[in-house]
């Protein structure tokens, strides 16, 4: 028993090996004290200053605690997603059932996705810039040219899979497409389900919340299925090495990978890291500006600011205008956020997820149809991925699962469970550009049949 406990609390075999166990548990106790100790007015958590650093520390300790446990639970760590998924579910339980003080939960939600803090808008741009800017230019061009068709094949597979399963439960293919495929494959909540509900209301004269209520429920189910499927695809890649590039999407010619720079040998330092972070902020501001201008032109569909960010970083890479040391700094920045803050993000994503929404939508038909849609998308993509020169596992994760989830946070959860966080840029192409394509498809379908 003592050996098992020792393995549980020992960080020597984890990415936190530089953190002494005694120091961690001292921080853990300090966080518990600050979170649950009532102040002079009797408010739990009242002594916590609700700023970026305090919430980062709380979610970091929460994430490390449950993440390390999840990475050590047999079966769970291989087939369900390990620590990343356990942090998400424990966060959802703590948030839904008010196991954390209201002050902490409120501050965490602001930290996660509210202005002006919005950790999500720091995390995702850092990963996009670091991953897209440092990928081999030839590889990048090959991936973009074949990736969008792959997304459409995934949508076709999702439609066929959902329609066939829907027939078993007496649902028409049109019902499946309008009420299941569109919300699931639509790019998430803010950029997908919400605008689609407005489109539906405009065509039918109904209340948009009527379509949205079911759409968000079925999307929530699909998001969880996509996370589990990501973990299963990770295991499939370990058992069938020929199906995976171990984080690389492109199959290079003659069985050889494109020659890449060893970024660790460049010798980037903290100055390069800081410069890359500042550059990321400037690019993000310009991308947001581009999104606002695009929306002002009243185009028939939106292009999200993160989609613009992907486009701009691709241009910088293709024209090779960023110095090597600055690229290496961007790579270090990406590695820092993807490796050491992923559990922070999973904690706050969990805090904002209502367990009851998942439970209420978990009927047998909904579960079966959502599963068929997710597996239909990933299965179709895996069948044709070799034709497009993509590895099957990575293609299914990015062009399939990152379409069938809740957008940015869903991409993080799926890629985290699949241990493929370096593919965040392609996940964002799926969620943003793929989501924009689904809005166009949804507008056409609602216009013709709603």
The reported pLDDT for the residue numbered 450 is: 67
Residues 197-201: contacts with CB under 8 Å, at least 24 apart: 199/439, 199/442, 199/443, 199/446, 200/446, 200/450
- 299 and 356 both lie in a single domain: yes
* Host domain of residue 387: 122-449
Last residue of a domain, one of 87, 116, 145: 116
What is the per-residue pLDDT across 99-135, written as a single tens digit (0 to 9) for each? 999 999 999 988 987 788 788 889 888 988 988 888 7
* Residue where one domain finishes, among candidates 62, 88, 116: 116
Please list, in sequence order, all residues whose beta carbon lies within 8 angstroms of the beta carbon of residue 226, skipping any fewer than 6 positions away.
Answer: 374, 401, 402, 404, 405, 410, 413, 414
Asked whether residue 72 falls in the same domain as residue 145, the answer is no
Indicate the pLDDT class of residue 368, thresholds 50, 70 and 90.
Answer: very high
Residue 79 reports pLDDT greater than 70: no
pLDDT at 237 over 90: yes
Q: At residue 5, does pLDDT exceed 50?
A: no
Tell me which residue has tokens 């759409």.
215
Residue 21, pLDDT > 60, answer: yes
pLDDT of residue 100: 95
pLDDT of 378 over the 90 cut: yes
Cα–Cα dist 409/188, whole Å: 9
pLDDT at 201 over 50: yes
Q: What is the pTM of this model?
A: 0.75
Higher per-residue confidence, 260 vs 374: 374
Q: What is the pLDDT of residue 14?
A: 80
| 234: pLDDT strictly greater than 80 | yes
Is 2 a residue whose pLDDT tops 50? Answer: no
Q: How far apart are CA 154 and CA 396, in angstroms?
A: 8
- Specify the pLDDT at position 73: 87
3-state secondary structure the chain: CHHHHHHHHCCCCCCCCCCCHHHHHHHHHHHHHHHHCECCCCCECCCCCCCHHHHHHHHHHHHHHHHHHHCCCCCHHHHHCHHHHHHHHHHHHHHHCCCCCHHHHHHHHHHHHCCCCCCHHHHHHHHHHHHHHHCCHHHHHHHHHHHHHHHHHHHHHHHHHHHHHHHHCCCCHHHHHHHHHHHHCCCCHHHHHHHHHHHHHHHHCCCHHHHHHHHHHHHHHHHHHHHHHHHHHHHHHHHCHHHCCCCCCECCHHHCCCCCCCHHHCCCCHHHHHHHHHHHHHHHHHHHHHHHHHHHCCCCCCCCHHHHHHHHHHHHHHCCCCCHHHHHHHHHHHHHHHHHCHHHHHHHHHHCCCHHHHHHHCCHHHHHHHHHHHHHHHHHHHHHCCCCCECHHHHHHHHHHCCCCCHHHHHHHHHHHHCCHHHHHHHHHHHHHHHHHHHHHHHHHHHHHC
pLDDT number for residue 253: 60
**CA distance linking residue 430 with residue 151, whole number of Å:** 7
Structure confidence at residue 256 (pLDDT): 47
pLDDT in tens, 84-98: 878 988 998 999 999
223 and 193 Cβ atoms separated by less than 8 Å: no
420-438 tens-digit pLDDT: 988 888 887 888 778 878 8
Percentage of residues of the chain with pLDDT beyond 90: 46
Q: From CA 423, how far away is CA 156, in angstroms rounded?
A: 23
CB 227, CB 417: distance < 8 Å: yes
pLDDT bracket for residue 236 (50, 70, 90): very high
What is the pLDDT at residue 321? 94
Look at 12 and 29; give whichever has higher pLDDT: 29
Tokens 């839904």 sit on residue: 96
Q: Which residue has the higher pLDDT, 260 or 43?
A: 43
**Looking at the structure, do residues 163 and 92 belong to the same domain, yes or no?**
no
If asked whether residues 373 and 293 sit together in one domain, one would say: yes
Quick one: average pLDDT of 406-410?
77
101 and 79 within one domain: yes
Whether residue 324 sits in one domain with residue 293: yes
Do 88 and 200 lie in a common domain? Answer: no
- Residue 3: per-residue pLDDT: 43
The per-residue pLDDT of the chain, averaged, comes to: 86
Average pLDDT, integer, range 204-226: 82
Residues 370 and 393 in one domain: yes
* Domain identity same for 76 and 112: yes
Q: What is the pLDDT of residues 243-281, one digit of tens each?
A: 999 988 888 764 444 555 777 777 789 999 999 999 999
- For residues 434 and 151, is the Cβ–Cβ distance under 8 A? yes
Total structural domains within the chain: 2
The whole-angstrom separation of Cα 220 and Cα 102 is 24
- Tell me: do 101 and 149 sit in the same domain: no
What's the mean pLDDT in 146-156?
Answer: 92
Confidence tier at 199 by pLDDT (50, 70, 90)? confident
**127 and 105 share a domain?**
no
The predicted structure's pLDDT at residue 7: 54
Per-residue pLDDT averaged across 33-48, rounded? 93
If one counts every other C-beta atom within 10 angstroms of the C-beta of residue 308, the result is 21
Per-residue burial over 119-136, b = 16 or more CB atoms within 10 Å of its CB, e = otherwise: bbbbbbbbbbbbbbbbbb
User: Angle CA(379)–CA(397)–CA(229) in degrees, nearest 5?
Assistant: 70
Shared domain check, 126 and 99: no
Q: Which of 72, 89, 116 is the last residue of a domain?
A: 116
392-403 mean pLDDT? 95
Q: Which residues contact 49 (CB under 8 A, 6 or more apart)?
A: none
b/e map of 424-450 (b: 16 or more CB within 10 Å)? bbbbbbbbbbbbbbbbebbbebbeeeb
pLDDT at 441 over 80: yes
pLDDT given for residue 132 in this prediction: 83
């Amino acid at each position: 028993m003592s050996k098992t406990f020792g393995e549980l609390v020992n960080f020597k075999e984890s990415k936190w090996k530089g953190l002494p166990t005694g120091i961690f548990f001292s921080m853990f106790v300090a966080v518990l004290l600050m979170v649950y100790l009532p102040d002079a007015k009797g408010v739990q958590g009242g002594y916590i200053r609700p700023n970026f650093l305090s919430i980062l520390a709380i979610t970091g300790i929460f994430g490390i605690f449950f993440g390390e446990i999840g990475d050590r639970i047999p079966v769970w760590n291989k087939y369900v997603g390990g620590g990343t998924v356990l942090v998400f579910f424990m966060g959802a339980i703590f948030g839904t059932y008010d196991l954390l003080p209201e002050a902490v939960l409120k501050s965490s939600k602001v930290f996660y996705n509210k202005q002006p803090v919005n950790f999500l808008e720091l995390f995702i741009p850092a990963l996009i810039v670091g991953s897209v800017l440092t990928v081999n230019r030839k590889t990048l061009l090959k991936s973009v040219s074949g990736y969008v068709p792959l997304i459409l094949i995934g949508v076709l597979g999702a439609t066929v899979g959902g329609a066939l399963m829907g027939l078993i439960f007496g649902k028409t293919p049109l019902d499946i497409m309008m009420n299941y495929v569109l919300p699931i494959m639509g790019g998430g909540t803010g950029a997908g389900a919400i605008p689609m509900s407005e489109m539906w209301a405009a065509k039918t004269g109904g209340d948009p919340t009527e379509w949205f209520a079911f759409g968000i429920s079925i999307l929530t189910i699909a998001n969880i299925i996509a996370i589990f499927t990501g973990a299963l695809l990770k295991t499939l890649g370990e058992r069938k090495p020929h199906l995976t590039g171990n984080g690389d999407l492109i199959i290079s010619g003659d069985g050889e990978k494109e020659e890449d720079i060893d970024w660790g040998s460049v010798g980037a330092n903290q100055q390069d890291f800081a410069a890359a972070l500042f550059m990321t902020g400037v690019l993000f501001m310009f991308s947001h500006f581009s999104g606002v201008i695009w929306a002002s032109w009243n185009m028939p569909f939106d292009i999200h600011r993160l989609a613009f960010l992907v486009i701009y970083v691709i241009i910088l890479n293709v024209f090779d205008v960023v110095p090597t040391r600055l690229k290496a700094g961007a790579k270090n920045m990406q590695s820092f956020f993807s490796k050491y803050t992923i559990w922070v993000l999973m904690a706050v994503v969990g805090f904002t997820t209502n367990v009851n929404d998942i439970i209420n939508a978990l009927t047998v038909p909904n579960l079966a149809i959502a599963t068929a849609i997710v597996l239909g998308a990933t299965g179709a993509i895996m069948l044709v991925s070799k034709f497009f020169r993509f590895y099957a596992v990575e293609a299914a994760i990015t062009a399939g699962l990152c379409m069938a989830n809740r957008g940015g946070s869903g991409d993080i959860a799926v890629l985290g469970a699949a241990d493929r966080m370096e593919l965040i840029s392609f996940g964002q192409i799926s969620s943003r550009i793929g989501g924009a394509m689904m809005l166009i498809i949804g507008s056409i379908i609602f216009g013709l049949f709603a």
